[in-house]
Amino acid sequence: MATDSALKVIFEHEGVFIHPNTEEEGTEPDLLVSGSLRILEKDAEVLVDFRPLEDPVDPSNMLCAGQDSSSVVEWAQCPKEKHQSHQLLETQQSYETEWDMLNAVSFRKRSSARGEGLLNHSLERSRWAFSVSVSDLRSITVKDEGWTFVILQQKEPSTSLPALHFHQGGSREFLDNLRRFALLTESPEDETCLEVSTPNRALSQSFENLLDDNSFGLIHKFRRDPYVATFGGLSKVTNYIYDALRGAEEQQQQRPPEEVADLLGEVIPGLEINQQEEPGFEVITRIDLGMRPQVTRREPLSADRWSKHLDMEGRVQDVDQLKHEVFKGGLCHAVRKELWKFLLGYFPWSSTSEERRCLQRVKIDEYFRMKLQWKSVSEEQERRNSRLRDFRSLIEKDVDRTDRTNWFYEGLNNPGLTLLHDILMTYCMYDFDLGYVQGMSDLLSPILYVMENEVDAFWCFVSFMDQMHQNFEEQMQGMKTQLIQLSTLLRLLDLTFWNYLESQESGYLYFCFRWLLIRFKRELSFQDVLRLWEVMWTGLPCQNFHLLICCSILDSEKQKIMEENFGFNEILKHINELSMKLNIEEILQKAEGLFHQIRSCKDLPHSISSILGLDTGHQRSDPTNAGAVAASQRAHLQNICSNGLGRENGSQNSGRPAFKS
Amino acid sequence: MAAKKSTLKVILLGDGGVGKSSLMNRYVTNKFDAHLFHTIGVEFLNKELTVDGYKVTLQIWDTAGQERFRSLRTPFYRGSDCCLLTFSVDDSQSFLNLSNWKKEFIYYADIKEPEKFPFVVLGNKVDVAERQVSSEEAREWCQENGDYPYYETSAKDATNVAVAFEEAVHRVLAMDDKTDYLISTDTVRLHRKPRSATTCCS
Ligand SMILES: Nc1nc2c(ncn2[C@@H]2O[C@H](COP(=O)(O)OP(=O)(O)OP(=O)(O)O)[C@@H](O)[C@H]2O)c(=O)[nH]1
Ligand SMILES: [Mg+2]
């Protein structure tokens, strides 16, 4: 792979010293080896690299190691710091020889202290060079002797590397940068010792902490000793509270203090922390998007058009074209009841009408078998089943508070309410581990409204929940992933705005929570929700299109947010209050425009193309992994139909469609 | 100094469906919407009022009650000046859960001296005929837990709603000498920018 050789400098600091005499016998006393310490990323591995100064290894070669001619190393003079030269280093390398974006890190190149005792012999010096993978580190000890020194402890062999003495500062930046790739937690035994945990775990853990609880105890410790305190647990919210505690005046125009860990930067690999406050160290990231093309939307697909897509046996012809039409204009209401079943994956695209009838018969059986399970639980039994009782009580409360102004659910004894209730209860039987979580009634309501049929609505809901499941799970992994992805997108699409949000402690986009949890259900009018969802279910024009919809809405609001200088609370309030004021066609237009802009961007960062599935071969992929599923669904369907009504077959398969391959 | 505005943060906690959002809406807009959605995420509304000549902005925070979303609501507990523990008089479980809500609040809001923190207890839906929690029980609980003021409210017919919120404000102001408090809040308040009060409420 062309990326194999890409080497990225995450951090570099000169004026880091090793004192060999304290490490080894037989060397001259008071010997200092001055060198530069780097954090490098290569082949998805992160290395801590120390090179003594004037080492034969030319640092600039490091940057393009293995890469032919595409590295750009520039030297620039920073006007603010006249006496020091500044180096601009390219740190972000892309696929092939192209640059993803200009992602330049400029930092102070200090004149190192060349006192007596400095080693001159290059061989002697290079002996002190080392390079160690972050994942091989067990712990980092941070001590102070008037200056800070740091001891890296390896796992295997369990030895210490020579202590690194930060005579010219920079230890904090070094640790902060490491935190982006590993979780550093204060050891319970020794507060100077930070335990290093592996990147993957660190990633998920720290994001846990973003939304988690225990982080709050840390704030006090943090205030006492921001240096050693564990940053991993501090959430953005804590930052903001921390600012609040620091007092008003100094805070007013200022960016929050840099000592507070930038958790978002930590949890999103590849996202640079914008360290504006650090003199001589800044990160500039931009992506060059062309003009946003004017996108036109079309008329909704009519019943007539739809019928033209069906052949004699009721097979859908030209599925790609059909999906495209749905993407561009949505559906007339009359078509929804039938076409949504395909869009959601309840009906295979390749099925005939006859096969679909068979399928439905099996699904009716399956549904009622599960419905009977909760229906037949006596009060007596339920008293001993607290989970079922809790689900029922939640469902009852939420059904009373879901779309009650819609005619389908309005009034006291509307049958729509009973259906909503029964389907949600049956879903608990279908997936008892998940059960009922608030928000699910919002996802079901439009589907039931369109289907006007309990069984069909149930199975369509099941399909929708397959896509949305992770949002509702215990750890809400789906929500975390989406917030990270959205932040990544927004940062590259609109750094200015992202920086603004960041400066208001809102960079982790908490205010998009409701949007993402229930796919804009509460933000749009009921009819607009139907339109948006059918467009999304086409899986076009790319995966995670709903994140571009978020970007599109934010793009329309950013001016107001920044001009009026909204803070954390006001941003939350402003976004909450957009509900029911949004125009779906405008949003879709802009989101599609954004997509075209991104796709025609030739230096598209890998992080973006992977979120949107624009890597080779991923285009137009169905979110439900259509290919494989379709094939096995077909096999299953034929099986059902050749077994008569397939009743026995269905019940033997314990309720789950037998998609064995 | 006396002209300075101050923001007090009050948070409504209690089981799902006890009427937190309805109480907030009743107090801020004086309306009761029987078609209200259940809450997802976190919301807040501002209400300006004048107490003893001081203009105060009451910032009322409302969250979703379900356990699953706990980690998403607890960060917002920080910086609260008062906590309204809410149950519904027609739901005994919601009453039994009051202690849990109190504990959760004290823990996540990181209250240093819980004995001194101003809690107010609201027994909502008193307009409903079938009660499961009697006034006596509720008062007893309040007595035992720290002598909290107790109000029986109805968001539906507005009984005691304004009184309860105003009591919350008084409790906060009574914590300290008022003037001192109002000055010092500017350094403690989550929303200390003077302009925030105006932009939020417009
Ligand atoms: N009779 C009566 N009903 C009320 C009263 N207050 C709220 N309700 C109803 O009780 C139900 C729940 O009210 P909400 O305000 O949504 O409850 P909540 O505490 O915000 O619930 P979550 O958002 O789920 O945490 C709604 O159907 C309201 O209409 C009241 O004072 N009297
Ligand atoms: Mg509510």
A237 within a domain of the structure (yes/no):
no
Task: Look at residues A190, A59, A195, A68 and name the one whose alpha carbon lies nearest to residue A134.
Answer: A195
A622 within a domain of the structure (yes/no):
no
The larger pLDDT score, comparing residue A48 to residue A237, is at A48
pLDDT at site A566: 94
DSSP 8-state symbol, A30 = T
The residue extents of the domains of chain B are 5-184
Encode A9-39: b = buried (16+ Cβ within 10 Å), e = exposed: bbbbbbbbbbbbeeeeeebeeebbbbbbbbb
Task: Look at residues B166, B197, B173 and name the one whose alpha carbon lies nearest to residue B27.
Answer: B166
CB of B40 sitting under 6 A from ligand 1 = no
Give the chain A residue nearest B200 (alpha carbons): A570
Same domain, A536 and A607: yes
If one residue of B22, B39, B45 were mutated to test the ligand 1 pocket, choosing by the most ligand atoms within 8 A of its CB, it would be B22
pLDDT, mean over chain A: 74
Query: Is B40 in Cβ contact with A439 (below 8 Å)?
Result: yes
Is A456 within 8 Å of A360 (Cβ atoms)?
Answer: yes
A489 within a domain of the structure (yes/no):
yes
B28 alpha carbon to ligand 1 midpoint, in Å? 15
pLDDT at site A22: 52
A17 within a domain of the structure (yes/no):
yes
Given a cut of 50, is residue B74 above it in pLDDT?
Answer: yes
- The residue to which tokens 């009359």 are assigned: A334
- Answer with the one of A242, A269, A296 that is the final residue of a domain: A269
pLDDT at site A70: 30
Round to whole Å and give the CA distance between A130 and A613.
38
The answer to whether the predicted template modeling score (pTM) of the entire model surpasses 0.80 is no
For A265, the domain range is 200-214+256-269
Q: Which of A346-350, A618-622, A641-645 has the least mean pLDDT?
A: A618-622
A67 within a domain of the structure (yes/no):
no
Q: What is the mean pLDDT of residues A268-284?
A: 33
Q: Looking at the complex, does the CB of residue B135 fall below 8 Å from at least one CB of chain A?
A: no
Confidence of residue A286 (pLDDT cuts 50, 70, 90): low
Same domain, A133 and A208: no
| Strand partners for A86 | A76, A108
Give the chain B residue nearest A406 (alpha carbons): B35
A115 within a domain of the structure (yes/no):
no
B81 alpha carbon to ligand 1 midpoint, in Å? 24
Q: Looking at the complex, does the CB of residue B103 fall below 8 Å from at least one CB of chain A?
A: no
ipTM for the assembly: 0.86
Given a cut of 90, is residue A47 above it in pLDDT?
Answer: no
CA distance A461 to chain B (A): 20
Round to whole Å and give the CA distance between A443 and A529.
10
Same domain, A596 and A450: no
Query: Is A213 in Cβ contact with B70 (below 8 Å)?
Result: yes
Residues near A594 by beta carbon (within 8 Å), at least 6 away in sequence: A292, A493, A548, A551, A552, A555
A238 within a domain of the structure (yes/no):
no
Same domain, A133 and A177: yes
Q: Which of A652-656, B19-23, B114-118, B156-160 has the least mean pLDDT?
A: A652-656
pLDDT at site B60: 97
Q: Looking at the complex, does the CB of residue B202 fall below 8 Å from at least one CB of chain A?
A: no
A396 alpha carbon to ligand 1 midpoint, in Å? 13
Identify which of A235, A410, A472 has the shortest CB distance to residue B75. Answer: A235
How does pLDDT run across A621-637, given as a tens digit for each residue?
444 444 555 566 666 66
Same domain, A42 and A184: yes
Strand intervals (E) in B90-180: 119-124, 150-152
Residue nearest to atom 29 of ligand 1 (CA): B34
CATH assignment at residue A380: 1.10.8.270
Same domain, A261 and A360: no
CA distance B119 to chain A (A): 21
Assigned fold of B5-184? Rossmann fold (3.40.50)
CA distance B59 to chain A (A): 10
Q: Looking at the complex, does the CB of residue B130 fall below 8 Å from at least one CB of chain A?
A: no
Given a cut of 70, is residue B76 above it in pLDDT?
Answer: yes
Same domain, A434 and A497: no
B21 alpha carbon to ligand 1 midpoint, in Å? 7
Round to whole Å and give the CA distance between A77 and A83.
9
Query: Is B110 in Cβ contact with A219 (below 8 Å)?
Result: yes
CATH assignment at residue A140: 2.30.29.230
| Strand partners for A88 | A74, A106
Q: Which of A163-177, A219-233, A638-652, B55-69 has the least mean pLDDT?
A: A219-233
Same domain, A162 and A15: yes
Query: Is A566 in Cβ contact with B75 (below 8 Å)?
Result: no
CB of B18 sitting under 6 A from ligand 1 = yes
> Hey, which of A164-178, A269-283, B98-112 has the most confident mean pLDDT?
B98-112
Q: Which of B57, B59, B66, B104 to mutate to test the interface with A (most CBs of A within 10 A)?
A: B66
Same domain, A498 and A605: yes
CB of B160 sitting under 6 A from ligand 1 = no
Same domain, A516 and A401: no
How does pLDDT run across A50-92, given as a tens digit for each residue?
888 764 433 333 332 223 323 222 223 333 333 333 333 332 2
Round to whole Å and give the CA distance between A397 and A417.
11
Cis amide prior to A188 (ω within 30 degrees): no
Q: Which ligand is in closest contact with the Cα of B124? A: 1
Task: Look at residues A241, A192, A247, A252 and name the one whose alpha carbon lies nearest to residue A219.
Answer: A241
Q: Which of A249, A387, A397 to mutate to test the interface with B (most CBs of B within 10 A)?
A: A397
A292 within a domain of the structure (yes/no):
no
**What is the secondary structure of A222-250 as a DSSP string?**
HHH-TTTS--TT--HHHHHHHHHHH-SGG
Is A484 within 8 Å of A271 (Cβ atoms)?
Answer: no
* Cα angle B61, B63, B66; round to 5: 160
CA distance A488 to chain B (A): 21
How does pLDDT run across A436-493, given as a tens digit for each residue?
999 999 999 999 999 999 999 999 999 999 999 999 998 888 888 899 999 999 988 8
CATH assignment at residue A528: 1.10.472.80
Given a cut of 90, is residue A102 above it in pLDDT?
Answer: no
Give percent of chain A with pLDDT exceeding 90.
42
Same domain, A419 and A356: yes
Confidence of residue A44 (pLDDT cuts 50, 70, 90): confident
Residues, chain A: 661
Give the chain B residue nearest A512 (alpha carbons): B41
How many other CB atoms sit within 10 Å of the CB of residue A97? Answer: 12
Q: A with B: how many residue pairs have Cβ under 8 Å apart? A: 106
Same domain, A532 and A575: yes
C-alpha dist (Å) from residue A370 to A6, A465, A468, A656: 54, 17, 21, 11
pLDDT at site A158: 73
Given a cut of 80, is residue B135 above it in pLDDT?
Answer: yes
Three-state SS at A555? helix
Count of domains forming chain A: 4
How many other CB atoms sit within 10 Å of the CB of residue A168? Answer: 18
Backbone angles phi, psi at A193, to 5 degrees: -105, 125
Give the chain B residue nearest A239 (alpha carbons): B75
CA distance A274 to chain B (A): 24
CB of B13 sitting under 6 A from ligand 1 = no
pLDDT at site B187: 35
Q: What is the mean pLDDT of residues A487-512?
A: 89
Round to whole Å and give the CA distance between A171 and A586.
49
pLDDT at site A563: 95
